[in-house]
Amino acid sequence: MVEKEAIQRLLWALEPLSGIPFPFITTFLAIVLEEGQTQSAYARAASIHRYTMSRYIHALGDCARDGGPGLGLVRLERDPEKMRNSHRIYLTAKGRAVAADIFRNLKRQQSAVAA
């Protein structure tokens, strides 16, 4: 029963990301945890190919792979220290708001469990 309750709490905490494919959610959470990394660094951490991570990050950004609108949760900034086409990934204001909602939900869950 404890596992079921933990999963229910997790799903409730992640409610601001409902309807988003799971790989995008894990990518978003990785960026929340350590903002400002390159897509290659996030790909290595997740043990997936850089191309796949690039697709996830672009979908979380302004423009999805199919040319449609992205989710607007992250932005890419050219890395001034690198000469090649390297970008650092940061949260947008919308991304920060979604992350804050998730953290708020987690804190509510902790308060409810402690009470």
pLDDT per position in the chain (115 positions), as tens?
678 888 888 888 999 999 999 999 999 999 999 999 999 999 999 999 999 999 999 999 998 777 888 899 999 998 777 767 788 999 999 999 999 999 999 888 777 766 6
Residue 107 CB partners (closer than 8 Å, separation 6+)? none
* Cβ neighbourhood burial of 11 (10 Å; 0-12, 13-18, 19+): exposed
CA distances (Å), 74 to each of 1, 93, 115, in order?
Answer: 36, 9, 36
Are the beta carbons of 54 and 42 closer than 8 angstroms? no
38 DSSP assignment: B
Taken in order 99, 105, 106, 108, the sign of the CA dihedral is positive
Are the beta carbons of 56 and 89 closer than 8 angstroms? no
Distance between CA atoms of residues 8 and 83, nearest Å: 46
Domain residue limits, the chain: 2-114
**Three-class SS of residue 76?**
strand
Q: In 3D, which of 88, 102, 103 has the Cα closest to residue 35? A: 88
- Per CATH, the number for 2-114 is 1.10.10.10
pTM of the model: 0.87
